[in-house]
Structure 1
Amino acid sequence: MHDFDHTQRFLFDDTDVRGELVGLGESYRHVLAKHRYPQPVAQLLGELLAAASLLINTLKFDGLLVLQVRSSGPVPLLMVECSSDGELRGIARYHEEQVASDAGLRELMPDGVLAMTVDPKLGQRYQGIVDLDGATLADCLTNYFATSEQLPTRFWLCADGQRARGLLLQQLPADRLKEAEARQASWEHVVTLAGTLTTEELLGLDNETLLHRLYHQEPLRLFEPRQLCFRCSCSRERSARALVSLGQADAELLLSEHDGQVLIDCQFCNQQYAFDAADVAQLFAGGGSEAPSDTRH
């Protein structure tokens, strides 16, 4: 299917509703390849990746969107980041012996909370937190928007370990329809039709076919797709800054405790950055993070 690794926006011509579709293939598999997740965990992580991809365009800002789901259950953490440039990464923490093969969100993440963080390059950082109240991640995100001051928004999400797909519908401010009753009727109409979509159809149909299947009687415009990809934002420089933030005494203590070498691992992509005594001395002398010799770490 060709509708993978991009989002695509659509707009209804006769009513105040916009939509977005996302398909993830290679980017999703790249995230999963970094860790050996059980199928239920891989599915939840794929759904959260799809959700972040849908939301980044809805929020319309330049920066980073972070979705975190935390719980006291078998999966204590799901975390996904999506940049305004369409770069994705994600990670899950889980207790393998507690993950049943047929478990759903409520069994895997009881008493959970969902946090959405908007971190713009310019301006203030914003975070909203709600209880994980719903049978699925799509339900929880729908409830998040229902309890905030955002416009009415609905999500449909699915993933199978190879592909992740998502559909978002959002009601826009009154323009084409001014009367509240007409606006509500049009919103319920498009949402009801989207609710007939099966998981097999969402995973298996390309965007144009899917929209025709749902809304062949509704005039709408389908815009050009925006590409998505897996890319981790870790770097040797960022790892060096983390080391410097500890202070020189603690950094040198780490060196002595780990046979003269500090290893910093990226949890998202498993990349490892090594710093020896010469590197640490250079960092605290203001010499930067590049290795001071021909050796590259």
Structure 2
Amino acid sequence: MASRDQFQRFIFEDSQVRGAWVQLGESFQEIGSQAPYPDSVRGLLGEALVASVLMSSTLKFEGTLSLQAQGEGPLRTLMAECSHDRYIRGLARFDEHAVSEENLHDMLGEGRMAITITPNKGNRYQGVVPREENSLAGCLEEYFERSEQIATSLILFADEHSAAGLLLQRMPGTTEQDDDLWERVNHLARTVEASELLELDSETILHRLFHEETVRLFEPETVAFRCSCSRERTLGALEAIGKDECYSILDEQGQIDMDCQFCHAHYRFDRNDIDHLFTGHTLH
């Protein structure tokens, strides 16, 4: 039985070619259960979650990496996020009467896709992802080529129950020997079937693909769903809305109710809460 909800890095010995593998089971199912996603939307959400884990593994930082897309097609919003310690969350917004089984461009229509890197310390960075390819993997490969100047291959699969992916990268400073290795392993990786990547454990899949190469597989890391929402963060969002707007809602409704869009946690704030937020003490 394949291991689920795990991530592993690997390298090809004596080369500048590295890779990563991830497989999501329970974490993907928990995220997918937050809304009645059609198969096409659920599949793309799974691919985005896998991509967020693989891409975050290429960074040396503490914080989060998120993939976000806004479109004018039947898929309005797609968002997947992974933290440095492999906690993931994600969501999709869609027009349930118009979702089709078409490619990424048809689902999103005109719109924007971006990668946002938010370190716990330091400045936030956002990079625009090209939308010229018809698959999520293709768009992200173009992003790495243009923004990072790193040759990257991404293979992403998802079905109703699980999602999985492979990432290969050719790092700067490669030799002619590395170039040959890159062409070879990249070609082999493209032969993998969805059923293999979704069902087989890392050791089996890497042996099947690269048994003629010397591959070092690092220790596995657990991936899990966890939402980063909290009452404090929700108060921060209210502070950003502004004092006048918050008191206007209170005057109209008597309280402010907010639900987390990722985990549906419910937060309720009364006038005392808002007084304390904007003045530091209770006025009423």
Q: Please report the TM-score for the alignment, with normalisation by the length of structure 2.
A: 0.94
Deviation of residue 81 (structure 1)? 1.3
Q: Partner of 1:121 in structure 2?
A: 120
Q: Partner of 2:108 in structure 1?
A: 109
**Aligned amino acid, residue 6 of structure 2:** H
Unaligned runs of 5+ in 1: 293-297
Post-superposition Cα deviations, 1:87-106, rounded to whole Å, max 9, x if no partner, equal 11101111010012x33323
| Distance in 2 (alpha carbons) for counterparts of 1:17 and 1:73 | 37
Q: Partner of 1:149 in structure 2?
A: 148
* CA contact 1:112–1:131 (8 Å) conserved in 2: no
Q: Secondary structure of the equivalent of 1:170?
A: strand
Q: What is the total number of aligned residue pairs between the two structures? A: 283
* CA contact 2:145–2:152 (8 Å) conserved in 1: yes
1:263 to 257, 263, 267: 257
- Cα RMSD (Å) of the superposition? 1.8
**Aligned amino acid, residue 81 of structure 1:** E
Deviation of residue 284 (structure 1)? 3.0
**Aligned amino acid, residue 81 of structure 2:** E
User: Where does 1:248-287 land on structure 2 (aligned, <5 Å)?
Assistant: 248-258=243-253, 260-287=254-281
User: Where does 1:205-216 land on structure 2 (aligned, <5 Å)?
Assistant: 205-216=200-211
Q: Secondary structure of the equivalent of 1:156?
A: strand
| Distance in 2 (alpha carbons) for counterparts of 1:21 and 1:286 | 48
| Distance in 2 (alpha carbons) for counterparts of 1:72 and 1:86 | 31
Post-superposition Cα deviations, 1:173-215, rounded to whole Å, max 9, x if no partner, equal 33xx633xx3322211110000111111111211111011101
**Aligned amino acid, residue 279 of structure 1:** D
Counterpart check, 1:63 vs 2:63: yes
**Aligned amino acid, residue 64 of structure 1:** T
**Aligned amino acid, residue 161 of structure 2:** Q
Counterpart check, 1:94 vs 2:94: yes
Post-superposition Cα deviations, 1:135-163, rounded to whole Å, max 9, x if no partner, equal 21111111111222332111000111210
2:184 to 184, 189, 204: 189
**Aligned amino acid, residue 69 of structure 2:** V
| Distance in 2 (alpha carbons) for counterparts of 1:36 and 1:122 | 36
Q: 1:221 to 1:81 in 2, by over 3 A?
A: same
| Distance in 2 (alpha carbons) for counterparts of 1:287 and 1:85 | 36
2:236 to 241, 252, 276: 241
Deviation of residue 29 (structure 1)? 0.9
* CA contact 1:111–1:132 (8 Å) conserved in 2: no
**Aligned amino acid, residue 21 of structure 1:** W
* CA contact 2:17–2:182 (8 Å) conserved in 1: yes
Q: Partner of 2:51 in structure 1?
A: 51
Identity rate of aligned residues, in percent?
Answer: 46
**Aligned amino acid, residue 136 of structure 1:** S
Q: 1:42 to 1:16 in 2, by over 3 A?
A: same
| Distance in 1 (alpha carbons) for counterparts of 2:194 and 2:175 | 34
Q: Partner of 2:222 in structure 1?
A: 227
Q: Please report the TM-score for the alignment, with normalisation by the length of structure 1.
A: 0.90
Q: Partner of 2:175 in structure 1?
A: 178
| Distance in 1 (alpha carbons) for counterparts of 2:124 and 2:278 | 30
* CA contact 2:17–2:178 (8 Å) conserved in 1: no
